[in-house]
């Protein structure tokens, strides 16, 4: 079965970049969101097996989006991606249930990380 992915990023360029990378590696992108509010609705509607979320989003940020998704589904596989590689942000994301954190634009480890998800 293909792993399904929700991509959350306010940059259309970044969403398209990630989508191409994921599709080339056998993942199915079932939804894309440019805001946290939109992402939460799409998560509940599509129930993807993986969520890739930026931290800096318009409206509610990625950490709040992560908390809301985890509240809805405590077993959600959420990976945070941000160009802000601040250690406190990484720790906050992991404390709130993210399974990993990738600093943009260093996506070399993305596919190996996703392939480990059951």
| Domain of residue 29, CATH code | 3.40.50.2300
Structure tokens at 2: 């293909």
Give the pLDDT confidence score for residue 85 in this predicted structure. 64
How far apart are alpha carbons 19 and 14 in whole angstroms? 8
Give the total number of structural domains in the chain: 1
Residues near 84 by Cβ (< 8 Å), separated by ≥ 6?
55, 56
Mean pLDDT value of segment 10-38:
96
Which one, of 65, 90, 47, lies nearest residue 8 by Cα?
Answer: 65
Give the pLDDT confidence score for residue 61 in this predicted structure. 94
Domain with 48 in it: 4-116
Locate the DSSP E strands across 20-76: 28-33, 50-54
- pLDDT for 40 beyond 60: yes
Mean pLDDT value of segment 49-64:
94
């Amino acid at each position: 079965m293909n792993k399904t992915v929700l991509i959350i990023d306010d940059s259309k360029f970044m969403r398209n970049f990630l989508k191409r990378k994921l599709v080339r590696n056998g993942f199915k992108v079932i939804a894309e969101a440019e805001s946290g509010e939109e992402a939460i609705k799409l998560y509940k509607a599509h129930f993807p097996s993986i969520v890739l979320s930026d931290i800096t989003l318009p409206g509610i940020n990625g950490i709040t989006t992560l908390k809301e998704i985890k509240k809805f589904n405590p077993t959600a596989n959420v990976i945070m991606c941000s160009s802000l590689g601040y250690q406190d942000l990484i720790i906050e994301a992991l404390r709130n249930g993210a399974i990993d954190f990738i600093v943009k634009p260093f996506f070399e480890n993305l596919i190996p990380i996703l392939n480990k998800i059951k």
